[in-house]
Structure 1
Amino acid sequence: MNNTQSVQALFKPFAFGNLTLPNRIVMAPMTRQFSTDGVPGQDVAAYYRRRAENGVGLIVTEGTVINHPDSSNQANVPHFYGEAALNGWSSVVSAVHEVGGRIIPQIWHMGARGNVGDYSESEIASIVQAFAQAAFEAKQLGFDGIELHGAHGYLIDQFFWEKTNPRTDSYGGDMLARTRFAVEVIEACRRAVGPEFPIVLRISQWKPNDYTAKLAETPALLQQFLTPLVDAGVDIFHCSTRRFWEPEFEGSDLNLAGWVKKLTGRPTITVGSVGLDSDFTSLFTEGKGAGNFKIDGLIEKLEHEEFDLVAVGRALLVDPAWVNKIRDGRAAELIPFTSEAVKTLY
């Protein structure tokens, strides 16, 4: 594999419905807590604009919380409700679109204070409606779609996982029942935005307190889990893993994004430690990287359409021009991800 081929794989356009992207690189959502009292300011707009004007194909914003008392316990995580916060997001959308970028908000609820069994059915209904209202606002503000955060132990994922969902009613029990809350959220969001507005769902097997956890131990169980989510209206799955190169199940080289695409036919985004080590940058330096399994594997999987998009997180956090530097073969200019560099968060 040569450098040109690798760049071509990452920089092919991607189209799905009304969403057209210039390349396959997605900015992964990363919580920054720079929105004072939940309101994103001009610094937030400038932060996203810098990534858009430097070639990111699709920006997924940091997590933005819905209008529910438990949705966040962090004062400076941005809201996706209220006039001030929505005006702030309007400025973000304008800033990104002015330079030709595409952007979707990640909409989340950070989780029940105890467990999901503490919520009555009437409160669940109000949370579902809060998600739908946020989706409606996103479309009104001109965003290019939405992402629902259903991973990493946050609220939707708390309903998914049997260890955090002790409910014995129709929202708990077997795997199919544990998808009911997510299905209701997705269906409500779909009604709010109509049939053509892209809905992305971020999922993960791992949990913050258990990196080896699996919602589904086998491909058959994974398909059982995914089918109601597809039927509810998910367009694209954002499949979060810690290391994109690790196979999801024994006996197959497919990672989680590969399996989800195989089982659903939906486009998928792979993510997990892309661009964080010197081995990655060496691929884009002449004469190096030919034998690197991890990165050669990423490009090969992308070329074979095992997944469709590649999300990059911390590398883009410290280097707004990461995409253009990779495209132009300027690996030597990349800003390394270090604890000192991340303090800038610019």
Structure 2
Amino acid sequence: MTTPSRIEPLLQPLTVRGVTLPNRIMMSPMTRGASPNGVPGEDVASYYERRAAGGVGTIITESVFVDDKGTMGKFGLEGGSDKPNPWPLMFGDAPLEGWRNVVAAVHAAGGKIFPQLMHLGVQRSPGKGESWSNIHISSPSGVFGSPEEIAQLPEEAQAAMNCPEKAMTEEEILSVIAAFASAAAGAKSVGFDGIALHGGHGYLIDNFMRAETNRRTDKWGGDHLGRMRFATEIVREVRKAIGEDMPISFRFSQWTHHNLDAQLFPTRKILEDILGALSDASVDIFEASARAFTDTVFEDSPLNLAALTKEITGKPTVMLGGTGVYRDKYQSALVPPKVIDNVDEVMERFEQGQFDLLAIGRSLLNDPNFVQKMISGEPFAPFDPGCLKMGNLT
């Protein structure tokens, strides 16, 4: 059992751009798919409120879609014919009013909250009655990924993902950038405390950053710095939309959902260039997304991604990747459910100055009072895989 004194350093506030985060604990964004027609309801507000009341200082919401026809996956912006779109939106009167209620509930419980704005990019899938060839997929170069990744798709998907004419036009690129800025402005208007941008895991911003999916030769492509232009322009336009008094957080990763061995930054120099470009564009907080927080990045360094990021940028950095329940032995922990306590190891890294903020995900799905148990030293509840079920808002 971890004593309260070990957790005390995580309970100190952190001020970023004048916004004071109550403590160093964040809730990771986790898709719930429980916002019919894109509108978060009272159940969503209560779901986030319980986590704030349970001790989470800052909540980053599940992914929220910006206003572009390529964002919504199989449901489209209007929803499918048999059921409404369940993914939350950050545009339109009804979704924004829903988010206003969510923000108010979290604030009443003493927490701060950022929306995670994102665009699916090449990970959009066809909807009911649609084929791979007639859906709109936003992609830098009209390709899904490397030849090896594409070869794993169904034949018609391979054909669609390799169509050169599906590369985004200049007009489409600028439209998506504007959609992110507009969504950020909408988020500010309903009271959010900061903006989180999803730049990892193989979604659109990440697609532009990777050579496998960005084969452009214009100003939006080229070398690794050229491929950063889309991301940095989004950050700059978001900053213009929200002003100087709200922090911007940016999530990035080596891996993608379709290739866990992918390498966005094969060398430290490339990582330094990527982080430098984002920092110069006015990113304030870096979410260093790793599959497991115990993973190192480069063979010649013992540091994980969060520690490297903080060392390079000097800016507030979030450590994530199984910090609560999900880590190297996650699969073996599912049957039967077991208690996994990583707190001592996490605190050791914090005390060494390797990160500034701790993001917790699945453990907070499992128990909204997980942070309170970290503080009190009360034993953690066994992990129940049922908490991962889409739509679950317990």
Q: What TM-score do the two structures reach when normalised by structure 2?
A: 0.81
Equivalent in the alignment of 2:244: 195
Residue type at the aligned position of 1:54: G
CA distance in 1, matches of 2:327, 2:67: 42
Equivalent in the alignment of 2:381: 335
1:7-86 to 2 correspondences below 5 Å: 7-73=7-73, 74=75, 75-86=85-96
Q: Is the 8 A contact 2:4 2:375 kept in 1?
A: no
C-alpha spacing 1:277/1:268, structure 2 compared with 1 (3 Å): closer
The yes-or-no answer on 1:182 pairing with 2:231 is yes
1:345 to partner: Cα distance: 3.4
Equivalent in the alignment of 1:120: 169
CA distance in 2, matches of 1:65, 1:277: 26
Once the two structures are superposed, what CA deviation does each residue of 1:265-293 show, in whole Å capped at 9, x if it has no partner?
1110010011116999xxxxxxxx9xx9x
Residue type at the aligned position of 1:28: S
1:80-229 to 2 correspondences below 5 Å: 80-112=90-122, 113=137, 115-117=139-141, 118-229=167-278
1:17 to partner: Cα distance: 2.5
Percent same amino acid at aligned positions?
45
Q: Is the 8 A contact 2:39 2:89 kept in 1?
A: yes
1:325 to partner: Cα distance: 1.4
1:37 to partner: Cα distance: 1.3
1:261 to partner: Cα distance: 1.1
Residue type at the aligned position of 1:16: V
Q: Is the 8 A contact 1:227 1:264 kept in 2?
A: yes
Local SS of the residue matching 1:62: strand
C-alpha spacing 1:166/1:13, structure 2 compared with 1 (3 Å): same
Once the two structures are superposed, what CA deviation does each residue of 1:288-313 show, in whole Å capped at 9, x if it has no partner?
x9xx9x65442122112211001000
CA distance in 1, matches of 2:241, 2:260: 35
CA distance in 1, matches of 2:387, 2:104: 28
Equivalent in the alignment of 2:125: none
Q: Is the 8 A contact 1:318 1:345 kept in 2?
A: no
Equivalent in the alignment of 2:367: 319
Residue type at the aligned position of 2:44: V
The yes-or-no answer on 1:239 pairing with 2:291 is no
How many residue pairs get matched? 333
CA distance in 1, matches of 2:44, 2:2: 37
Does 203-212 or 113-122 show the bigger shift?
113-122
1:206 to partner: Cα distance: 0.7
Residue type at the aligned position of 1:64: V
CA distance in 1, matches of 2:374, 2:325: 13
1:115 to partner: Cα distance: 2.8
Equivalent in the alignment of 1:304: 352
Residue type at the aligned position of 2:172: E
Residue type at the aligned position of 1:60: I
Equivalent in the alignment of 2:6: 6
Residue type at the aligned position of 1:275: G
In angstroms, what is the RMSD of aligned CA positions? 2.1
Q: Is the 8 A contact 1:239 1:270 kept in 2?
A: yes
1:239 to partner: Cα distance: 0.7
Once the two structures are superposed, what CA deviation does each residue of 1:79-111 show, in whole Å capped at 9, x if it has no partner?
000000000000001111112111010000111
CA distance in 2, matches of 1:260, 1:278: 20
1:254 to partner: Cα distance: 1.4
C-alpha spacing 1:108/1:277, structure 2 compared with 1 (3 Å): closer
Residue type at the aligned position of 1:21: L
Local SS of the residue matching 2:218: coil
Local SS of the residue matching 1:330: coil
Residue type at the aligned position of 1:115: S
Local SS of the residue matching 2:63: strand
Does 253-262 or 80-89 show the bigger shift?
253-262
Local SS of the residue matching 2:250: strand
Structure 2: runs of 5 or more not aligned: 76-84, 123-136, 142-166, 330-338
Equivalent in the alignment of 2:130: none
1:72 to partner: Cα distance: 1.4
Once the two structures are superposed, what CA deviation does each residue of 1:319-346 show, in whole Å capped at 9, x if it has no partner?
1111111111112xx3333223434431
Local SS of the residue matching 1:64: strand
Structure 1: runs of 5 or more not aligned: 281-288
CA distance in 1, matches of 2:200, 2:327: 28
Q: What TM-score do the two structures reach when normalised by structure 1?
A: 0.91
Residue type at the aligned position of 1:299: M
1:167 to partner: Cα distance: 1.2
CA distance in 1, matches of 2:25, 2:2: 19
Residue type at the aligned position of 1:337: F
